[in-house]
Amino acid sequence: MPMASSFSTVRLNLNECSYPIHVGENILVETGRFAHDVGFIGQAAIISDTIVAELYAATVVAALEDAGFKTSTHVVDQGEHSKSFTKVESLCESLANHGVDRYSFVVALGGGVIGDLAGFVASIYYRGIPVIQVPTTVMAQVDSSIGGKTGINLHTGKNLVGAFHQPVAVVADTSTLKTLGHREWNEGFAEVIKYGIIHEADLLAQLRSGIASLPDLVRRCVEIKASFVSADERETAGLRVLLNFGHTLGHAIETVAGYGTLLHGETVALGMLSAAQISQSRVGLPEVAVEEIRETIQHFELPMRLPSGMSQDQIIETMFSDKKFVNGHIRFVVSPCLGSAKLVDNITVDDLKLALAILEPTTP
Amino acid sequence: MPMASSFSTVRLNLNECSYPIHVGENILVETGRFAHDVGFIGQAAIISDTIVAELYAATVVAALEDAGFKTSTHVVDQGEHSKSFTKVESLCESLANHGVDRYSFVVALGGGVIGDLAGFVASIYYRGIPVIQVPTTVMAQVDSSIGGKTGINLHTGKNLVGAFHQPVAVVADTSTLKTLGHREWNEGFAEVIKYGIIHEADLLAQLRSGIASLPDLVRRCVEIKASFVSADERETAGLRVLLNFGHTLGHAIETVAGYGTLLHGETVALGMLSAAQISQSRVGLPEVAVEEIRETIQHFELPMRLPSGMSQDQIIETMFSDKKFVNGHIRFVVSPCLGSAKLVDNITVDDLKLALAILEPTTP
């Protein structure tokens, strides 16, 4: 007998469409109903990774088949290296070989990598078929499954290829988070901390005092992300870009470390520490706020120092080669006070060097 | 000194945007101005094939650089086999290595393959950068460069992967058509004949009596294509689908023949002969109209018979495996009288067999 499931639904409203984000415990079993509710009639192509598929594919397949959908399951290796053209091609061929057609839909079952990869496949297969995102990590539930950004990596850079392809529904089953490893659990909270810094200061204290209700926390994060995306779907209005707090430096650190060495959330934590430092020196973020950010990051055992051997020069060179600088300045998201953020365009290499210095492994 | 150029401009209006389609002799030299006119400031990435690049890349590069654009040129082999994930990946890496960024734009210089391939690359690079289509074949100028359909092939089928990505401008220089081979020139007129059948009966007689002005003819075709696309951008309103007259069978013939054996327009010609036969038997297209279609196809030395060794059974099997049939019926575009077309959904295997019989190489 399936466990009882209860859930709440956040609606993400866009100009041309809107879609439901369902959050709750044990709601994978409702996937078939949710697919039915958005009007699907075709075949479901579940795309997942080996580890997540082992844990949850059977549940999702049964839910979809009970609701009358024919299914096929397509599995890739877990990890960032699966965000490649090679995997996109083999997935597309696999979909075609299983009779997935223009009336079918994709179910992206997994973490951020699967959401990005399967979402991108859905965006280009038959020039675009619908996708339901079923995120199974904290990071994917509170952030990456929402908002329609999909993509894969080039040798030359992360997420350089992709599409905006909004899901038709998101199913965030918080009970799936219980099977996450310690490190994967913690990394997801980097994005939650980010929401605290840029939008809702209370979140930081809540996080440190212990999570009363995981579904409530995820739902609140989903609401915040949805509000940014609704207001600025294509990141052209200067609002969605604020979600990049900590990410500009984080991405550079991730590139220098090599994909997979540090988890995405771990590099975001490092990036947020530096961004807090820049916020303090350039837009007056109070010392007490910087300290609160540090404490919250520490609470989730996220890294506070660069891996040994990685120098700030390498990181800044990466940002140069990434053409992040224009005339010696860089566009950068800062927080003038906890719970708010803004974009400035006058951050210099010296600002970055000072901010990276606090991450040096040799700093006492 | 550059030759004088004169051109006319058709505007394709869509819900969210509109774009100019410039048609004229010797207008490649205006590419820089056209790019400037649509507001570009970034770098131009010219994507072309070896043969077209040899003929025209220098002209386009000079035009763009004279207008102040930095350029890079990215060349692939000519032919349908370049519409592959392998080529998409190598082009994306090449763009990244040349510093092409989100403020850059793609110039698709070539025939239908290049338009589809470069348009698709533009649609996914940095989640989409703009593309200017510069078609250099009849087929690309009158048809494929307009309307935003881009795509590549899977092993399992043609154009199964792609995106809708409207160009920001189209530059159709009819003087480039003079370097086409005899067969490539003729195949392009299959699409012109199609416009005659489905929309403007007079075109057929005009074509047979000789082309008075190539720019005028291309512009008229562009207007027809633009009107269908404007009214039904995503092929959801039952109008754009009428442009598939002759293409349902044509695609199946192309698949059975193997990509590259017959040119696209040649398979469309065969498909139109069969579609004319079905139109006669099922919706009363007069015999005199069928004869006029045959004469016009013959006028351009397009094939009237299947290649020897290709049986109608193979073609129908391909349509079955392509899931074109639903409950033994197929959706099919027919013409009840010259200059009009409609979609019917009750065409049977027997209808197709009768229609393919007229293409049998053994038929006297």
Q: Kindly report, residue by residue over A117-132, the tens digit of the pLDDT.
A: 999 999 999 999 999 9
* Residue A15 covered by a domain: yes
Examine the residue annotation and report whether A149 is marked as an active-site residue of this protein.
Answer: yes
* Residue B363 covered by a domain: no
* Residue A363 covered by a domain: no
A314 contacts A173 by C-beta, under 8 angstroms: no
What single-letter amino acid sits at A178? K
Examine the residue annotation and report whether A182 is marked as an active-site residue of this protein.
Answer: no
- Tell whether A157 and A193 lie within a shared domain: no
- Tell whether B83 and B201 lie within a shared domain: no
Nearest 5°: phi and psi at A234?
-100, 15
Q: pLDDT for B289-301, tens place per residue?
A: 999 999 999 999 9
Cβ separation of A92 and B128 shorter than 8 Å? no
Cβ separation of B160 and A88 shorter than 8 Å? no
Q: Compute how many other C-beta atoms are within 10 angstroms of the C-beta atom of residue A309.
A: 9
DSSP, res A255: H
Is the entire prediction scored with pTM above 0.90? Answer: yes
Average pLDDT (B303-325) is: 85
Q: What is the CATH number of the domain that holds A66?
A: 3.40.50.1970
Task: Give pLDDT, residue A362.
Answer: 62
Q: pLDDT for B82-130, tens place per residue?
A: 999 999 999 999 999 999 999 999 999 999 999 999 999 999 999 999 9
On the question of pLDDT at A308 being above 90, the answer is: no
Examine the residue annotation and report whether A240 is marked as an active-site residue of this protein.
Answer: yes
On the question of pLDDT at B259 being above 80, the answer is: no
Q: pLDDT for A41-97, tens place per residue?
A: 899 999 999 999 999 999 999 999 999 999 999 999 999 899 999 999 999 999 999
Nearest 5°: phi and psi at A11?
-105, 125
Q: pLDDT for A202-217, tens place per residue?
A: 999 999 999 999 999 9
- Tell whether A114 and A204 lie within a shared domain: no
Task: Give pLDDT, residue A309.
Answer: 86
Q: What is the CATH number of the domain that holds A271?
A: 1.20.1090.10
Interface test with B, best of A89, A120, A319 (most B CBs within 10 A): A89
Nearest to B195 by CA among B22, B96, B338: B338
Burial B233-266 (b: 16+ CB within 10 A, else e): bebeeebbbbbbbbbbbbbbbbbbbeeeebbbbb
Asked whether the ipTM of the predicted complex exceeds the cut of 0.95, the reply is: no
Encoded tokens for A236: 């052209």
Cβ separation of A162 and B127 shorter than 8 Å? yes
Examine the residue annotation and report whether B235 is marked as an active-site residue of this protein.
Answer: yes
Cβ separation of B156 and A127 shorter than 8 Å? no
Task: Give pLDDT, residue B362.
Answer: 62
Mean pLDDT of chain B: 94
On the question of pLDDT at A2 being above 70, the answer is: no
Examine the residue annotation and report whether B165 is marked as an active-site residue of this protein.
Answer: no
Task: Give pLDDT, residue B95.
Answer: 97
- Tell whether A219 and A347 lie within a shared domain: yes
Interface test with A, best of B74, B89, B127, B322 (most A CBs within 10 A): B127
Task: Give pLDDT, residue A1.
Answer: 42
Which is the catalytic residue, given B74, B149, B194, B199?
B149
- List beta partners, residue A135: A110
Task: Give pLDDT, residue A4.
Answer: 60
Residues of chain A with Cβ-Cβ distance to B129 below 8 Å are: none
* Residue A362 covered by a domain: no
Pick B310 or A300 by higher pLDDT.
Answer: A300
* Residue B364 covered by a domain: no
Residues 6+ apart with CB under 8 A from A294: A273, A276, A304
Task: Give pLDDT, residue B323.
Answer: 66
What single-letter amino acid sits at A286? P
Encoded tokens for B108: 């698709």
* Residue B68 covered by a domain: yes
Pick B199 or B257 by higher pLDDT.
Answer: B199
pLDDT category of residue A323 using cuts at 50, 70 and 90: low
Distance, CA of B61 to chain centre: 24
Residues of chain B with Cβ-Cβ distance to A88 below 8 Å are: 85
* Residue B1 covered by a domain: no
* Residue B197 covered by a domain: yes
- Tell whether A55 and A37 lie within a shared domain: yes
* Tally of CA atoms within 13 A in the half-sphere of A111 that contains its CB: 27
Question: Of the ranges A273-282, B11-20, B188-197, B263-272, which one carries the lowest mean pLDDT score?
Answer: B11-20
Give how far Cα B137 sits from Cα of A67, A115, B58, B214, Å.
50, 40, 18, 12
Structural domains of chain B, count: 2
Of A149, A156, A164, the CB nearest to B93: A156
Which is the catalytic residue, given A80, A165, A194, A244?
A244
- Tell whether B166 and B196 lie within a shared domain: no
- Tell whether A254 and A161 lie within a shared domain: no
pLDDT category of residue B351 using cuts at 50, 70 and 90: very high
Residues of chain A with Cβ-Cβ distance to B322 below 8 Å are: none
Task: Give pLDDT, residue B1.
Answer: 41
Residues of chain A with Cβ-Cβ distance to B320 below 8 Å are: none
User: Where is the domain boundary, A179, A214, A232?
Assistant: A179
Residues of chain B with Cβ-Cβ distance to A101 below 8 Å are: 323
- Tell whether A216 and A68 lie within a shared domain: no
Q: Chain A residue with minimal CA distance to B160?
A: A126
CB pairs under 8 A between A and B: 72
Of A89, A97, A156, the CB nearest to B85: A89
User: Where is the domain boundary, B179, B211, B234?
Assistant: B179
User: Where is the domain boundary, A154, A179, A204?
Assistant: A179
- Tell whether A134 and A210 lie within a shared domain: no
Cβ separation of A149 and B127 shorter than 8 Å? yes
Of B99, B149, B160, the CB nearest to A96: B160
Q: Which segments of A150-199 does DSSP mark as H helices, in order?
A: 182-198
Residues of chain A with Cβ-Cβ distance to B16 below 8 Å are: none
- List beta partners, residue A177: none
- List beta partners, residue B24: B7, B173
Task: Give pLDDT, residue B228.
Answer: 96
On the question of pLDDT at A329 being above 90, the answer is: no
- Tell whether A145 and A214 lie within a shared domain: no
- Tell whether A120 and A62 lie within a shared domain: yes
Which is the catalytic residue, given A149, A158, A220, A324?
A149
Examine the residue annotation and report whether B149 is marked as an active-site residue of this protein.
Answer: yes
Which is the catalytic residue, given B165, B194, B220, B247?
B247
Q: pLDDT for A221-277, tens place per residue?
A: 999 999 999 999 988 888 999 999 999 999 899 989 887 789 999 999 999 999 999
Q: pLDDT for B196-239, tens place per residue?
A: 999 999 999 999 999 999 999 999 999 999 999 999 998 888 89
Residues of chain A with Cβ-Cβ distance to B128 below 8 Å are: 163-164
Structural domain of A15: 6-179
Examine the residue annotation and report whether B254 is marked as an active-site residue of this protein.
Answer: no
Signed CA dihedral, A59, A62, A68, A74: sign only? positive
pLDDT category of residue B10 using cuts at 50, 70 and 90: very high
- Tell whether B205 and B95 lie within a shared domain: no
Cβ separation of A163 and B124 shorter than 8 Å? yes
- Kindly report the nearest CA distance between residue A76 and chain B, in angstroms: 18
Cβ separation of B127 and A156 shorter than 8 Å? no
- Any idea how long chain A is? 364
